[in-house]
Structure formats: structure tokens, C-alpha cells
A and B are shown apart, each in its own frame.
Chain A
Amino acid sequence: MTFQLLRRRYEQLLEAIVLILMIALTVLVIVGAAFRYLGNALTWYDETASIGLVWLTYYGSALAALRGAHIGVPGLVNAMPPALRLVVTLIAEAVVILFFVLLAWYGLQVVIVLQGEHMITLPEVSSQFTQSVIPIGATMFVIAEILRLPDVIRAARGRGFLDAETLEAMSHGAPDATGSTGAH
């Protein structure tokens, strides 16, 4: 498998996770609100939904890392000459990777310590399962960061980096975003 294909497959995996989490959260909130309105509130709904948002945060962050979408301040780095920019960028990448490696490691410690604990409102679900998002999500972030490294080095040597807002703007500014053609 080529590097590009591996990267594409990894992106598709993360996209699938994010898509499932978005749908699950939406359904959960709607069902939860409906039950509460009917006077039969689901006790576990707030806690589960909040944990779902944590999951979306870390799996979505890994996907954002792969796309270089995290909010940063690239102005100063872009103003540097390419040689210096490359050195500084590699230091920045090292900081990011080190942080998530350590977060994964200590997240794993937490998961081990939580043996036997469970959710407050849903005792069937162990806290080890809910907290697993930190070590797994952090590891997936590190993989995403490594997969994007060739792009980052190319950008550092070339014209520099776009900031998150410009990327967001570009993703929305696509000419096919009119939405006027129906699926039917």
C-alpha cells in the first residue's frame, strides 16, 4: 500500500467515526428531549450525551490534525526564510507529537486505575470504556500528525501555512456548495 493510499484509508476511517458520532449524538438528544417532554425522562441521557461530545472532540481532533485544521497562528512562521521555517516547524511538530504521546500514556494509566468503575447514571457501562477515548484518540492524533508530516515539510519549504480560518473558508467556498441540485 502506498503512503498516499494509507493516508486516504486512515482519513476515511476517521471520517466514518466522526459521522457515526455526529448521527448518534443527534439521535440521542432528540430522543432524550422527546422522553423528557413525555414526562418519562431518561436519567442517563445528559451524562451519555456529554461523554459523546468528548468522543467527538478527540476523534474529530485526530481528523482535524490530518487536515491541518487546528486553530494556530502561522503568521510569524510564514514570515521566516524557508530554511529557518523548516527547523521551527519540526520543533513545533515535535511538541505536538510529544504532548499526545504523553497524553496517550497517562490516559492509559487512568484507564487502568478506573478498573471496576462505571458511569453514574448507566452502571452497565464501565468508565474504562468511556475514558478509553483519551489514550485511543491521542494515539490516533499522533498517527494523523505523522501521516501529515510530508505535507507539513513541503509547506514549510514552500510557501508556508494557511491558518485554520482560511482552510475553513476554503472548505465552504467550494463552488459545488450551492445545494440546489436534489438527490431525487
Chain B
Amino acid sequence: MTITIMLIGMIGLSLINVPIAIALGFVAMAAIALIQGPSMLPDLALEMFNGASSFPLLAIPLFILAGAIMNASSISRRLIAFASSLVGFVRGGLSMVSIGTSVFFAEISGSAVADVAALGTILIPAMKSRGYSKEVAAATMSSAASLAIIIPPSIPMILYAVMAQTSTVKLFVAGIVPGVLGAVAMAGAAYYQAVKYDFPAEQRFRLSEVWRTGREALWAFILPVAILGSIFGGIVTATEGAGMAVLASIVVGGFIYRDLDFRELKKACIDGGIQTAVVMLLVAASALIGTFLTEAQLPQALGHAMTSITTNKYLVLLMLNVAFFVLGMFLHSAAAIILVIPIVMPLVHAIGIDPIHFGLVVTLNLAIGQQTPPVASVLMTSCAIAKADIWDTTWVNIPYIVALVAVLLLCTYVPFVSLGLVHLFYGG
């Protein structure tokens, strides 16, 4: 009963545009005052402190910062040149380059919005000048950037791992194969569009060019791979790896390439701090509500309700997929993870779904959610750069979304796609 009133209160406050984190905090505060008595209210302040205190989540601001530093140097330009030498000869060369560069960039960045901002500002004008419509340019860049959260490091994966109490590192490893498959599927969609709209190839394939651009982009490759390797090998934790990534990007941008833009860097640092704070406030407030959810046994009740309909793992996964797909249209991806994961995890465990496997399914859903309006951060950034209409772009974006959904379904029903590498690395 209490929990029903609380849920209505949270949804009601959110709908009048009280920030979600504060809607949760306010309702929890009212519940503490009314149920446990006003003398317990100082607990609220303690919980809001403890809820935000997390060593694993510290990886979030650090990975945001590392990506931002890379953006503030010439790394994106070098990676684009290298990708052009590799795949520019294919029809629709610039679409292929967008996807290829996004694959490389994803090893540095854990946020698709950051990727689309860094690469889109260069590649979208280039595509437009080669006769791509602004909608095609925006859609291609937007979907390609979604690889950032599928290929490690990934900020949604870090959040999921903490919320689901599972391993960030294993989740990172599980993202590698689906990320590559996503890139291949999107390249297929890009080729289809290139034929449909008759887009040109960019340059002849020359090994000397691959060698030259590859050498110029060498550091942008080696360091992320070395850092991810140290994380996968257990030499450093994900948070420490994120710290190393910051250090590495400062060394590469500031001392090797010597082209760091410090003004841009300062802005990125502050913006990264704000993004982190917004997510962490939600984490802290959800911890307050979590206590009440646990007492009311709501997650267990949901689990029972679902298992009374079916205990078929694949049917439950289908239902969860549909739920997350719809949520992704309307909810910020971080908010979706923080609010929903604690509620569905008991069900996931009860049905016997591997939490790492489920984490990949959730991440892919959110990658798609960032492409599906009305709430679609990545698509909106891309459209802002291309000056394209969001709904027109969505129409053109459908082949890419279909490609991502195909990868999602493959990962959902063939757990080996995500878990194969995890088992190879860590056994089990």
C-alpha cells in the first residue's frame, strides 16, 4: 500500500517536471517522516551521502574526462584519416568511414553523445559536401556513434554493473563481439543506402596510405588497447584504468601530438563534472527508495507475477526487451538503468538469466533508445550538427535501427555472442 502511494507520488512529481532524482528524494522524505517519524529524518541526509559514495562509479567522470581530452586534441582527425585509408574505397565511403572511426573511437570514449559531437562536427560537413543529404549524414553519424556504449569502455555498462552488482570488467569484455557485429551490420545498412542514393567512393585503396595514416594515429590506438588490456587482465580496476586513460590522453594530446586545446579541455572538465553529478544524484536518491522497495518486496512481487505468466527465459527476455525499447524512447538512458535495474534483477536471477548477458541486452536497448525520439540524446546531437529535422532523420535512420535491432535479437537469443569471450577469458 505504502509503496503504491509512493510510486504514484514519484510519477506525479516527475510529470510536473520535478527532476526525477528530487521526486524520488521528496517522496522518500515524506515516507520517512510519516512512517518512521520525523526524528528519523537525519537518516535521509546520511543516506544521500552514502548513496553517492562509490569507488566503482568514480570510473564515470574519469572516462568522460579521458574522452573529452582526446576530443580536445587532433586524435579524432587522425582516426578519421586512418579509417578513410582503410574503408574509403567502398561505395558510400564516408558512411563507412563514420562507422570505422566510431569503432576506433569507442575504445577511448564511453559516451555516444561525446562521440557524435567529436566526430560529427568533422564528418557531417564532409558528407554534406559530397552530396549526402543532411538527414542521411545525421542518421549515419548518430547510429555509428552508438557503438561507443557497446564497445568498452561504456558508461551505461559501469552504471549497470553497479546497480546489478555484477562485474564491470566482464561486461566490458562481453561488449566486444556485439560491438563489432553492430559495426558490420551498420556497414551493410550504409552500403544499401549508398546504392539507393548513389553515393561515391572516396579514395583508392593504397597500402602506403594505410601505413602513413596508421603511423600518425598509432598512439590513439595503442594506448586505449593497452589500458583496456590492463583492465581485462586484472592489473588495474576499471576505475584505475579510467584514471590511466586520463593520464594517457594528456600525454598523447599534450606531449606527443602537442595540440591540446586547453580552453576546450576546461569546459569539457566542467561539463563532465555536471553530467556525473546529475547521474550520481539520481543514484543517491534511488538508494533511498530502494530501502522501501525492498521492504515492500516489490521486485520479488514483480518476479512472481512474471514467472506466473511464463518461466520461459526467452519469453521473459522478449518482454524485457520490449519494455526497455519503449522506456528508451521516453527516458534518459542513465535514468532507465538506475530506476529499472534494481526492480528487474530479482526476476532476471529467478529465471536464470546470466546478469552479464542481460547487461549486454540492456546496453544494446539503450543504444537503440538513444536513436529513437522523442528522447534521443545522440540523434539530437547529430541533428543539431547537421541542422536536420529529427523526425525526417529518424525516417532515414530506420535501416540502421533495424541493423542494431538485429544485433540485439542475436545477442538476446544466442548468449554465446556476448558470453563467449567472457568464458574464454575468465572461465565458467
Contact = CB atoms under 8 A, between A and B. Distances in A.
Interface of A: 15, 18-19, 21-23, 25-26, 29-30, 32-33, 36-37, 46, 49-54, 56-61, 63-64, 67, 69-77, 88-89, 91-92, 95-96, 98-100, 102-103, 106-107, 109-110, 113, 131, 133-135, 161, 163-166, 168-173, 175-184
A179 B61 contact: no
B332 interface: yes
B414 interface: no
| Chain B at the A interface: SS class | helix
Given A106-B44, A169-B377, A173-B381, A30 B246 contact: yes
Contacts of A19: 266, 269-270, 273
Given A57-B276, A61-B278, A73-B17, A22 B113 contact: no
Given A53-B52, A169-B384, A21 B243 contact: no
A54 B52 contact: yes
Contact of B74 (A77, A106, A161, A180): A180
Contacts of B182: none
Among A30, A37, A182, the one with the most B-chain Cβ atoms within 10 Å of its Cβ is A182
Contacts of A49: 55, 58, 239
Contact of B381 (A53, A77, A172): A172
Interface string B37-62: 00001101110110011110110011
Q: How large is the interface on B (under 10, 10 to 19, 20 to 34, 35 or more residues)?
A: 35 or more
A26 B49 contact: no
B44 A103 contact: yes
A30 B118 contact: no
A29 B269 CA distance: 16
Nearest to B370: A165
B232 to A, nearest CB: 16
Nearest to B260: A183
B121 interface: yes
23 contacts: A18-B274, A19-B273, A26-B65, A29-B239, A33-B243, A46-B55, A49-B239, A53-B52, A53-B61, A54-B53, A56-B61, A57-B276, A61-B277, A67-B274, A76-B17, A92-B18, A102-B29, A106-B45, A110-B42, A134-B49, A166-B380, A168-B275, A175-B385
A66 B294 CA distance: 34
Contacts, number: 258
A29 B375 contact: no
B22 A96 contact: yes
B241 to A, nearest CB: 8
B9 to A, nearest CB: 10
Contacts of A74: 17
A85 to B, nearest CB: 9
B417 interface: no
Nearest to A130: B49
Given A99-B26, A177-B264, A23 B44 contact: no
B118 A177 contact: yes
B282 A71 contact: yes
A36 B230 CA distance: 14
B261 A25 contact: no
Given A70-B278, A113-B42, 6 more contacts: A50-B58, A63-B274, A110-B42, A134-B45, A173-B385, A175-B385
In order of increasing CB-CB distance, the 3 nearest A-B pairs are A60-B277, A182-B259, A29-B243
Given A30-B247, A56-B277, A179-B71, A88 B53 contact: no
Contacts of B359: none
Contacts of B122: 178, 180
Interface in B104-163: 113-114, 116-118, 121-122
B20 interface: yes
B284 interface: yes
Interface in B50-87: 52-55, 57-58, 61-62, 65, 71-74, 76-77
A49 B240 CA distance: 11
Contacts of B99: none
B289 interface: no
Contacts of B61: 22, 25, 53, 56
Interface in B1-47: 13-23, 25-26, 29, 41-42, 44-46
Contacts of A18: 269-270, 273-274, 277
A30 to B, nearest CB: 4
B334 interface: yes
A73 B20 contact: yes
B17 A92 contact: yes
B263 interface: yes
Interface string B320-355: 000000000011101100000000000000000000
B271 to A, nearest CB: 6
